[in-house]
Amino acid sequence: MRKSIQRLGIVILFLTAFLTIGYLTPRKWGNYSQADCTISLYISNQGIHTEIIVPVKNEYFDWNQFLPLTEIGRDATSDYKYLSFGWGDRAFMLETSTSAIINPVTAFKALFLPTPSTVHVQGYRVPPQNIETKCMKISGANYLKIINFLKDTFQLDAAGKKIKISYGYDNSDSFYEAKRSYSILRTCNDWTAEALQKAEVNTPLWSTLSSAIMFHLNSGCECQK
C-alpha cells in the first residue's frame, strides 16, 4: 500500500513539473515582430477562459456581412464596434455566466468526455473595461488568418447559414453551433492559442489555462497606451 502511494506521489510530482514547464515556456523565444503593426487585437480573460476581440469593420473585413449585428443580441442593435469570440463546451458555456456558478457535473463531463461545442459572440461599443483585457497589434495578413479561423469555427446549416442556439447572458451576445468537440485535449483556451499562433502571436506550450495565455501574450507590436 505504501509503495502504491509513493508511486502515485511520484506520478503527481512528475505531472505537476511537466505542466509547470509547459505553462512557463513560450512557443517563441527572442525578439520578433509582425511585418507591420496595422490591426489592434484584444484578448480578454473571462476568469476561466479567454476570448478574442476584433473590430467589427476595417479595410480587411466587415463582420456584419458574415454575422448581421442586429441578430447577435436581444437589443437588435448595429452599434457594436467590436465583437468578442469564444469557443467551448456547449453545456458548460450556456450554463456558466461566471466562475461562481459552475455545475460540477457539467464541468466533469466537459473535462473528461468529448462534448458538443459552441461559439459565444458578444458585441461591444468599446473594448470591455470590467475584465482583464490585453491589446496587441498584428499585421493585416495575420489579421485575415485570425478572421478565417474564427469564421471556420462556426457550424453551418445546409443553406450555409450560422445556426443560433440561443441568446446569451445579457442583451448583447448569443451562442452558435460550432465545429469539433470539446475535451480536455482541446479546451477553450487551446482554441484561443490556435488562433493566435496563426497570427504569429506568442502562446505557451501548455495553453489550457487562461492565465497562461495572458502571461505569454505578445505579438511583437504593442498598442499605444
Tens of pLDDT along 108-158?
Answer: 666 666 889 999 999 999 999 889 999 999 999 999 999 999 999 999 999
Q: Is residue 222 part of a domain?
A: no
| Global confidence as pTM | 0.89
Beta-carbon contacts of residue 83 (< 8 Å; ≥ 6 apart): 53, 54, 56, 63, 67, 72, 121, 122, 123, 124
Per residue in 34-91, pLDDT tens? 778 889 999 999 888 999 999 999 999 999 999 999 999 999 999 999 999 999 999 8
Q: Is residue 221 part of a domain?
A: no
Amino acid identity of residue 18, one-letter, is F
Q: Is residue 11 part of a domain?
A: yes
Q: Is residue 224 part of a domain?
A: no
Helices vs strands, H then E, count in the chain:
7, 7
Amino acid identity of residue 180, one-letter, is R
Q: Is residue 174 part of a domain?
A: yes
Q: What's the number of domains the chain is made of?
A: 1
What confidence score (pLDDT) does residue 225 get? Answer: 63
Containing domain of residue 18, as a range? 2-216
Q: Is residue 31 part of a domain?
A: yes
Q: Is residue 17 part of a domain?
A: yes
Q: Is residue 56 part of a domain?
A: yes
